[in-house]
Structure 1
Amino acid sequence: MRQRVRTTRVRHRGTAVAALVAAAVTASLMAGCSSDSRPSDDGRGETHSRSQEPAPHDPMNAGTVLAVKIDNVRAARPQTGLEAADIVYAEQVEGGLSRLMAVYATRLPEAVGPVRSARESDLELLRQFDEPTLAFSGAQKKLLPLIDRAPLHAKSPESAQSGAYYRGKDKVAPHNLYLRPERLLGTAPGADALTTGFRYGAAPAGGTPEDSRTVRFPAARFTFTWSADRHGWLVSMDGTPTVTTDGKRLASPTVVVQYVQVRESQFHDVLGNNSPYTRTVGSGRAEVLRDGRAFDVEWRRGSASEGTDFTTADGSSVNFAKGQVWVVFAKA
C-alpha cells in the first residue's frame, strides 16, 4: 500500500516539488527580516494571511489528511479536537515555547482549535503526505510565498470557504479561532492517507519499564505518565494535565521522543526572536514509549517525500500501539 501511495505521489507532484525547491532557493537568497517585518500569529503581534477572496469548497481536498496548527500556550487550553487526531506533533517555536500540529485521517471532530500560525518547518514535515490540507491562522509575511508554492492545500481563514472558521466565546483573541474540519474535507480520508512510515502491531522485545517521561523545551515541557487503566500515556503540558473540552484526560497509546536538529531559520517575530527550524529529514536517535516501557531506537527519513522509519539496533522495524501517536521533536 505504501509503495502505491508513493508512486501516485511522484506522478502528481513533479511540478509542485520543483516549484517548492525553486521557492526555497529564492528564499535562501533573501536577507533576514527587515525593520518592517511583522510577527506571525504568536500572540505577540499582527497576523499576516493571504489577501485573496474566500475560495469555494475544493473537491481536490478529498483523500488528503488534514493538518491543523494548534495553539499551546496556557490561555489556549483546553484545546478542542485533539483527542480525535491520529498524530499530534509537538515542535519548538519562538521564545522556547511549543506549538502543536494535529493530523486527522481516520475521523474528523466537529471542531478543532484554537488554530494558530504556520512555521517554515511545517512544509518539510508535511511533505510526507500526499498534498495534505493545512489549516492555519496566518504566517510571517515572508513565509507566505513558500506556503503558496508548497505541494499542499493551504487553508487560512481568508482562503477557506465561508463558515469553515469561527471565533469562539470561551477564550479571548487570538486564542479563540476554531475550525470546522468537515467544511474543508467533507469526510475523513481514511488510514491509507497516513503515509508516515509508522507501523502498528506487537511491541518489540526488550525495552525498559517506564512510569513517566518529561521532554523539556526552553520555555515549555511535556510529561507523559503511564496509565495501565487507560492503556496509554496521560499527557501533561507545562505541568498541567491535558484534558479535552469535556474534561476527559488525554491519553495516547504511543509517544515518540525524536531527537532532531533545531536551528535558526531566516524568519523572526516582531520582538526579534528567531523562529526555530526543526529538521525532520535525516537520521538520529529516538525513544518509543508504549505499554509502560521505553525503547531506544533509531529514526531515518531519507527525503522529504518519505515517511520516517523507526528501527531497533539490529535493524528491525518498531511497531507502535494502535491508536493516537504523539511525536515530540526534542533538540539533539
Structure 2
Amino acid sequence: MAVGHTSARTRARTRSLLVVTLAVGLVLSTAGCAPEKSTPSHAPSPSFSSGYHTPPATAIAPLRGTTVPAGSLDHASIAAKIDNHPAARPQVGLESTDIVYQELVEGGLTRYVAVWQSTIPDLLGPVRSIRPMDPDIVSPLGGIICYSGGQQRFVDLMRKTPVYNAIHGQPDTASTFFRTPTRAAPHNVLVKAKELLAQHASIPAPAQQFAFSLDVPSSTAAKDGARTAAINYAFSGVTNGSWTWDAAKGAFLRSQGSGPDLDGAGAQLSATNVVVIRVTVTDDHDVPKTNLIGSGEAWISSGGGTVHATWSKASATDPIRLIDGTGATVRLAAGNTWIELVPSAGSVSFVAPA
C-alpha cells in the first residue's frame, strides 16, 4: 500500500511539472513573437509652407489719398507761390503736385499756391511774392512755404502761421533758391526742393485735407454726379480756362486761354479732381483778397462726373470741408487735385457729353 501511494504521488508531481513546463514554454514562445522596439529616427520632419506671405504695411498719402508704403511719406509738404504769368510758363514741377490752388491777383491775372508731398521734384518754380489769402490756404498744411517776398504786412501774416517760411534772398535759403539764366526776371526764381526738404527733416507730415474714396469709380462725383465733358471758368476778362474730361487717361486735361496748358516736357497738365469754389474777393489796398473763412457754393468733378456741394472753412488752420446736397462729406478720387478759387464776379459752367 505504501509503494502504491508513493507511485501515485510521483505521477501527480510529474503531471504538475509538465503543466508548468508547457506554460513557461508558451510564455517564452509568445515573447519571442513580440515585435522589436523601433529605434527613434533623428531625420528631420518634413516642413509645411502655406504659401501665404504677410503683405507690407501701407499708409494713405495725406494729400492724394493713394496707398503708399508705410513710412514713405513721413515728411513735410512744400507749398510755393507759383507764377502764372505767360512769361513764367511752362512752370517747373507742376506736373507732380498733390494740390494746386488758383487765385486772382492784380490786373485780372492769377497765381498758384502749389503743394508737393507725395512726390518732391528736384526743382520747382518760378516762385513769386505772396498775397493776403495765402496764409489761410497753407496754414492747415503746416510744412514749408516758398515765396520771393511781398508786402511786409503780408509777410508778417505769413510768418505768424504754423508754417516754415522759406523766402528768397534770406540767409537760410541762399543754397536752395536761385535765379535761372534761362528765363527773364522776375519770372526766374527756382527752388531746389529736395535739398530744402532735407534741411527741415524734423517738420512733420501734413494732416489729411480731404476725404478720399479708394478709387475713382467710388468717388462721390463719379458715382452720383452729372456726366461732364468739360468745365469752363473765367477769373476775369483776362484769365479764363477749361478742363476737358479724357476717359482714356481717366483725368481732366487743363487748358488756359485758347490752348493746352503744358508742363516742361510738353505734356498737358491734368487732374484727377477739379474742385471749383465760388468766393468773394475784396480789395486790400489795391490787392485782391480771396476770402476763405466762411462758406459758399462748390462743384467737385471726378471720374467724368460733377456733383454740386457747399464748401466751408471755419478758421485759418482748418481745412476746407466739402458737403453734398444730402449733407454727406464729398469723397474725392485718390489722386491729384486742382482747386479753382473762382470769384463771384467770374463765371463757371459745365458741359455735358454730346
Same fold (TM over 0.5): yes
**Match status 1:174 vs 2:186:** yes
Corresponding letter in the other structure for 2:147: F
Report if aligned partners of 2:135, 2:316 keep a CA contact under 8 Å in 1. Answer: no
Corresponding letter in the other structure for 1:234: L
2:157 to 123, 146, 150: 146
Number of the residue aligned with 1:303: 315
Corresponding letter in the other structure for 2:262: V
**Match status 1:157 vs 2:168:** yes
Counterpart Cα distance in 2 of 1:292 and 1:191: 34
Per-residue deviation at 1:127? 1.7
CA distance change for structure 1 residues 214 and 106 in 2, over 3 Å: closer, same or farther? same
**What stretches of structure 1 of length at least 5 have no aligned partner?**
6-61, 267-273
2:239 to 215, 220, 238: 220
CA distance change for structure 1 residues 326 and 147 in 2, over 3 Å: closer, same or farther? same
Taking the TM superposition and a 5 Å limit, the aligned residue runs for 1:75-86 are 75-86=87-98
- Alpha-carbon RMSD: 2.2
Number of the residue aligned with 1:34: none
Per-residue deviation at 1:310? 1.0
| Percent of residue pairs identical | 29
**After TM superposition, which residue ranges in structure 1, 4 or more long, deviate above 6 angstroms?**
187-191
Per-residue deviation at 1:190? 11
Per-residue deviation at 1:92? 0.3
**Match status 1:119 vs 2:127:** no
CA distance change for structure 1 residues 251 and 72 in 2, over 3 Å: closer, same or farther? same
- Please give the per-residue CA displacement for 1:89-132, whole angstroms capped at 9, x wherever unaligned: 000001111001111111100111111111110011112123x3
Mean CA deviation greater in 194-203 or 222-231: 194-203
Number of the residue aligned with 1:16: none
* 2:133 counterpart SS class: helix
Per-residue deviation at 1:182? 1.4
What TM-score does the superposition give when structure 1 sets the normalisation length?
A: 0.74
- Please give the per-residue CA displacement for 1:278-319, whole angstroms capped at 9, x wherever unaligned: 111211110111111111111122222211221211111111
CA distance change for structure 1 residues 189 and 255 in 2, over 3 Å: closer, same or farther? farther
**Match status 1:255 vs 2:301:** no
Number of the residue aligned with 1:206: 224
Corresponding letter in the other structure for 1:193: P
Number of the residue aligned with 1:43: none
Number of the residue aligned with 2:333: 321
Counterpart Cα distance in 2 of 1:264 and 1:291: 36
Q: Kindly tell me the number of residue pairs found equivalent between the two proteins.
A: 264
Counterpart Cα distance in 1 of 2:169 and 2:203: 27
Rg comparison, structure with higher value:
2
Counterpart Cα distance in 1 of 2:120 and 2:201: 6
* 2:252 counterpart SS class: strand
Per-residue deviation at 1:236? 1.1
Report if aligned partners of 1:223, 1:235 keep a CA contact under 8 Å in 2. Answer: yes
Per-residue deviation at 1:194? 4.3
